[in-house]
Amino acid sequence: MGEGREARGERHEAKGKGRKMSFVRTGRKNEEQAMLFWLRVRDGEELRKSMPEYRLRLFLMQVFRGKKVEIRNTGKKVTEKEILAKSIQAWNAFRNRETMRSGELKYDPNKPIPEAV
């Protein structure tokens, strides 16, 4: 089962659909909470630094500042799989009402993408 998910993740990465998959996966779990989560990530209003939405927003803003998908001023390429994995991590923390510190959004390309809760 894990191989299928990973293969699908690779297919989505190749087609550039990894970002959209995070919307789909979270929406399937709870549409109302997913809307709230993604609006907060998008707008950034009334977010505290300890909130998962803030941590994901900060990461995404660093990635999408320019035309290239990379961390600004580092040249580090960011894959769609990494964006999906970090989005799901933040979503899971949001759903579990957990706080996040700086650097808690981790990515290991050798590990499977977490399941959304």
Q: How far apart are CA 8 and CA 20, in angstroms?
A: 13
Q: Does 64 fall in a domain?
A: yes
- Tell me the C-alpha to C-alpha distance, in Å, between residue 47 and each of 25, 42, 79, 111, 113: 23, 11, 26, 29, 26
Q: Does 47 fall in a domain?
A: yes
Per-residue pLDDT of the chain (117 residues; tens, 9 = 90+): 444 444 444 433 334 466 678 888 899 999 999 999 999 999 999 999 999 999 999 998 888 776 566 665 666 788 889 999 999 999 999 999 999 999 899 999 999 999 999
Supply φ then ψ for residue 100, to 5 degrees: -135, 145
How many domains is the chain partitioned into structurally?
A: 1
Q: How far apart are CA 79 and CA 69, in angstroms?
A: 8
pTM for the structure as a whole: 0.78
Q: Does 78 fall in a domain?
A: yes
pLDDT at residue 65, rounded to an integer: 72
What domain range includes position 82? 2-95
DSSP letters for 16-50: T-HHHHHHHHHHHH-HHHHHHHHHHHHH-TT--TT
3-state secondary structure of 99: coil
Q: Does 81 fall in a domain?
A: yes
Q: Does 116 fall in a domain?
A: no
